[in-house]
């Protein structure tokens, strides 16, 4: 949904629209002019009108308005005009870290930028706010690598940690989320620090600790929960051992074994800086373009699309015919996120040889995915269910005809799509499981 706010239109008799500069999960962002204070501002306008999203939008404004720090994008005002809810933000110049080449940064730059992110989080955590969506797309990089953290749209007050989203829904970006988020927990300070650990790993190594090379979202979720990342020095030998220990502690599966807070982590990172004689990155007061980006390119979990009520769309220039479609997209994105969670839970149960529970999770996920337009994930889920039956046969030595038949049907259904999408690793595994079933059949 795009808001057709014309250039030179004015909100609240104060903020003149100059141009549209970005789009986020719940709204769009415009560059504007505050005629009272005669300064450029960023104007974030809510495009979805449901009570849930309005509540999140208000929470974002309340969270950010409490934060006054040089490494955090400032909130100046919030209000409603022309049936539009809006937030007035600091206008900053630069580009997001997502838009930068993150593969060839020096150790000095990587550590310096991470220190600035941590200084922002240390301050926010001290105010009772956790960010919950630290990733390159939410970090603006200005002159001399000055960093500003933005988009506290997923932030929560620590005293009100309950999710506003549906149970099982994963909000944020898969590549940077901590394992506890995939297990249905809302997250805390340690969760933000895990995301910083993923970010630091990427800046130091030029790759994510759990890459999305195959595009298999569930496999990455599973890896975050179960797998140990390759130590950073195995990827980049120039990384000092002390820095590697910091990264691996941040990426611990158990939040209690990570750093207790950003302050403790900053002490260790600055010690590494001192050892390497790295210069501190000094902030330069500048204005950076607040482009709330669309979802990160690093394989995001679908963000909530924007939508609007039909009764006032003509007044603000929104296409009325798009309303139902966008609301359906919102429901589909929540269903897709829940389905991925069920698939991951099925994988974990299968690993523990909890066959019945794994079957229930996979079957539920297939029911969610079938009406959606995600053929690759649906095919992979069919293949995983078929593979689960094959694993059960290997472990127990029992081959029930109904399970052999079901496994063969699921694998046969999955293979054409897996081949078409060139998911070669999945194809090889599915073919190997079919061969196993043929041997069982002739035994």
Check which CATH number belongs to the domain holding 79 and give it: 3.30.200.20
- This prediction's pTM: 0.74
Does residue 156 fall inside a structural domain? yes
Do 104 and 51 fall within a single domain? Answer: no
- Residues with Cβ within 8 Å of 295's Cβ and at least 6 positions away in sequence, in order, are 25, 137, 173, 302, 303
Does residue 283 fall inside a structural domain? no
- Residues with Cβ within 8 Å of 104's Cβ and at least 6 positions away in sequence, in order, are 206
Do 248 and 382 fall within a single domain? Answer: no
Residuewise pLDDT in 10s, the chain (443 residues)? 455 677 888 999 999 999 988 876 567 889 999 999 999 999 988 876 667 777 777 777 777 888 899 999 999 998 888 778 888 999 988 888 998 888 888 999 999 999 999 999 999 999 988 998 999 989 999 888 999 998 876 666 565 544 444 444 455 588 999 999 888 887 799 999 999 999 999 999 999 999 877 678 898 999 999 999 999 999 999 999 999 999 999 999 999 999 999 999 999 999 998 887 544 444 443 333 333 333 344 443 333 333 333 333 333 333 444 444 444 555 676 788 888 889 999 999 999 999 999 999 999 999 999 998 889 999 999 999 999 999 999 999 998 999 999 999 999 999 999 999 889 989 999 999 999 998 885 55
* The pLDDT value given to residue 161: 43
**Nearest CA among 144, 420, 387 for reference residue 285:** 144
**Nearest CA among 200, 10, 212 for reference residue 110:** 200
Does residue 190 fall inside a structural domain? yes
Do 44 and 114 fall within a single domain? Answer: no
Q: Which tokens go with 8?
A: 């030179």
Does residue 438 fall inside a structural domain? yes
Do 102 and 197 fall within a single domain? Answer: yes
Do 373 and 433 fall within a single domain? Answer: yes
* The pLDDT value given to residue 23: 75
From the list 77, 133, 296, 298, the catalytic residue is 133
Do 371 and 435 fall within a single domain? Answer: yes
- Residues with Cβ within 8 Å of 245's Cβ and at least 6 positions away in sequence, in order, are none
CA dist 391 → 340, 344, 357, 437 (Å)? 21, 16, 14, 11
Question: Domain boundary residue among 209, 241, 275?
Answer: 275
94: region left, alpha or beta (phi > 0 left; psi from -120 to 50 alpha): left
User: What CATH number has the domain bearing residue 373?
Assistant: 1.25.40.10
Do 373 and 229 fall within a single domain? Answer: no
Query: Catalytic residue at 101?
Result: no
Do 78 and 138 fall within a single domain? Answer: no
Do 149 and 252 fall within a single domain? Answer: yes
Does residue 241 fall inside a structural domain? yes
Question: Domain boundary residue among 246, 275, 304?
Answer: 275
Does residue 5 fall inside a structural domain? no
Do 38 and 108 fall within a single domain? Answer: no
Does residue 3 fall inside a structural domain? no
Do 19 and 130 fall within a single domain? Answer: no
Question: Domain boundary residue among 62, 92, 122?
Answer: 92
Quote the domain boundaries for residue 74. Answer: 10-92
**Nearest CA among 368, 362, 342 for reference residue 410:** 362
**Which sign, positive or negative, has the C-alpha torsion 347, 349, 351, 355?**
negative
Torsion of CA 280, 232, 174, 166, to 10 degrees: -80
Number of domains forming the structure of the chain: 3
Does residue 299 fall inside a structural domain? no
* The pLDDT value given to residue 84: 84
Do 130 and 245 fall within a single domain? Answer: yes
Q: Which tokens go with 46?
A: 């809510």
Residue with tokens 């504007």: 32
């Amino acid at each position: 949904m795009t808001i057709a706010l014309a250039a030179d239109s004015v909100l609240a008799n104060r903020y003149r629209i100059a141009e549209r500069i970005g789009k986020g999960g719940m709204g769009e962002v415009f560059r504007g002019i505050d005629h009272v204070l005669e300064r450029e501002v960023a104007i974030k306008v809510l495009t979805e009108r449901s009570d849930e999203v309005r509540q999140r939008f208000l929470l974002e404004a309340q969270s950010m308005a409490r934060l006054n720090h040089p490494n955090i994008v400032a909130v100046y005002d919030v209000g409603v005009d022309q049936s539009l809810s809006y937030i007035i933000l600091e206008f900053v110049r630069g580009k997001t870290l997502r838009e930068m080449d993150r593969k060839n940064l020096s150790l000095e730059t990587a550590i310096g930028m991470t220190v600035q992110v941590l200084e922002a989080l240390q301050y926010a955590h001290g105010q009772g706010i956790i960010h919950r969506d630290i990733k390159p797309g939410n970090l603006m990089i200005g002159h001399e690598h000055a960093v500003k953290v933005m988009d506290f749209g997923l932030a929560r007050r620590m005293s009100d940690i309950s999710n506003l989203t549906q149970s099982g829904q994963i909000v944020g970006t898969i590549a940077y989320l901590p394992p506890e988020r995939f297990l249905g927990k809302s997250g805390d300070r340690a969760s933000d620090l895990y995301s910083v650990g993923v970010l630091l790993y990427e800046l130091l190594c030029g790759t994510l600790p759990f890459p999305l090379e195959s595009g298999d979202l569930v496999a990455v979720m599973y890896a975050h929960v179960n797998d140990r990342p390759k130590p950073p020095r195995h990827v980049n030998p120039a990384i000092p051992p002390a820095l590697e220990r910091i990264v691996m502690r941040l990426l611990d599966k158990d939040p209690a074994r990570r750093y207790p807070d950003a302050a403790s982590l900053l002490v260790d990172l600055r010690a590494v800086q001192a050892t390497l004689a790295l210069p501190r990155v000094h902030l330069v007061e500048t204005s950076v373009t607040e482009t709330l980006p669309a979802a990160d390119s690093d394989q995001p979990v679908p963000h909530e699309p924007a939508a609007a009520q039909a009764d006032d769309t003509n007044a603000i220039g929104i296409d009325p015919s798009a309303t139902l479609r966008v609301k359906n997209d919102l429901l589909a994105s929540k269903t897709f996120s829940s389905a991925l969670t069920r698939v991951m839970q099925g994988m974990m149960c299968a690993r523990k040889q909890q066959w019945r529970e794994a079957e229930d999770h996979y079957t539920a996920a297939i029911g969610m995915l079938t009406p959606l337009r995600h053929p690759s994930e649906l095919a992979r889920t069919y293949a995983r269910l078929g593979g689960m039956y094959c694993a059960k046969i290997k472990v127990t030595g029992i081959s029930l005809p109904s399970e052999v038949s079901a496994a063969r049907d699921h694998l046969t259904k999955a293979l054409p799509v897996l081949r078409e999408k060139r998911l070669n690793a999945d194809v090889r595994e599915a073919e190997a499981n079919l061969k196993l079933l043929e041997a069982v059949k002739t035994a």
